[in-house]
């Protein structure tokens, strides 16, 4: 259960930071990384290779999508750590829980008009609320697109010196928060329906 406890700690901390600030410190992933290392230590050698291949494959995809700014860096790290769950069956349960939480939350955001629509806000509001993903800066009557890479676009806007500027934004969906809730549901599922399996995990 080392992996589950340490992963749970990382996801709870990351989910809280994502909810509060939309910024996740790299330090929150240390417990999960330790859990993954312990998993490799305790797993039979035959399962080590399969787990390593799975982590490497998802890691390559995560590196690509974060490098080109389709996802935030914390999201990429979280997706790699998710696949470190040793049992493929447990991984399916975990992914289903995360998908159910994410689809419900994102569906609600779309229905309420919070997500999926561009909005124009003042640069002061943008600087004070990290939940926005910038699309363009509007200053002096001119609209200038910012970098499409979500990992650098915020910095582009924050360099703006015109305090009268407006920012075209979209709501930044808190992916880590959904993963954290999904992970808790997964642990709850194991505790209720597969207690023996949960206790036997590394």
Same domain, 46 and 133: no
Number of domains in the chain: 2
Same domain, 84 and 184: yes
Distance CA 106, CA 11 (A): 19
Same domain, 180 and 167: no
Same domain, 93 and 181: yes
Same domain, 34 and 58: yes
pTM of this structure: 0.81
Helices H, strands E: what count in the chain?
A: 9, 4
Same domain, 15 and 82: yes
- The tens place of each residue's pLDDT in the chain, 202 residues long, gives 667 788 889 999 999 998 888 888 999 999 999 988 888 877 766 677 788 888 899 999 988 988 888 888 888 899 899 888 877 777 888 899 999 999 999 999 989 888 878 899 999 999 888 888 899 999 888 899 988 888 788 888 888 888 889 999 988 888 899 999 999 998 888 788 777 655 655 5
Q: What is the pLDDT of residues 147-177, one digit of tens each?
A: 888 878 888 888 888 888 999 998 888 889 9
Parallel, antiparallel, or unpaired for β 132-139 and 142-145? antiparallel
Q: Which of 33, 30, 25 is nearest to 74 (CA)?
A: 25
Same domain, 99 and 131: no
DSSP state, residue 147: P
Same domain, 133 and 64: no
- Containing domain of residue 67, as a range? 2-113+173-200
């Amino acid at each position: 259960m080392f992996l589950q406890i340490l992963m749970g700690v990382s996801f709870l901390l990351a989910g809280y930071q994502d909810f509060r600030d939309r910024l996740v410190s790299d330090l929150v992933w240390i417990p999960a990384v330790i859990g993954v290392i312990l998993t490799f230590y305790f797993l039979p050698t035959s399962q080590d290779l399969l787990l390593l291949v799975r982590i490497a494959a998802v890691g390559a995809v995560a590196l690509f999508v974060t490098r080109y700014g389709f996802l935030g860096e914390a999201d990429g790290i979280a997706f790699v750590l998710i696949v470190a769950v040793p049992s493929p069956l447990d991984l399916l349960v975990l992914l289903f829980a995360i998908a159910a939480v994410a689809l419900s939350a994102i569906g609600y955001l779309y229905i309420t008009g919070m997500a999926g629509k561009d909005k124009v806000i003042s640069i002061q509001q943008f600087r004070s609320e990290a939940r926005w993903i910038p699309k363009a800066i509007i200053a002096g009557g001119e609209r200038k697109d910012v970098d499409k890479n979500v990992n650098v676009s915020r910095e582009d806007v924050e360099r703006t010196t015109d305090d009268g500027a407006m920012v075209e934004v979209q709501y930044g969906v808190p992916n880590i928060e959904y993963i954290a809730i999904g992970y808790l549901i997964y642990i709850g599922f194991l505790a209720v329906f597969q207690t023996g399996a949960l206790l036997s995990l590394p």
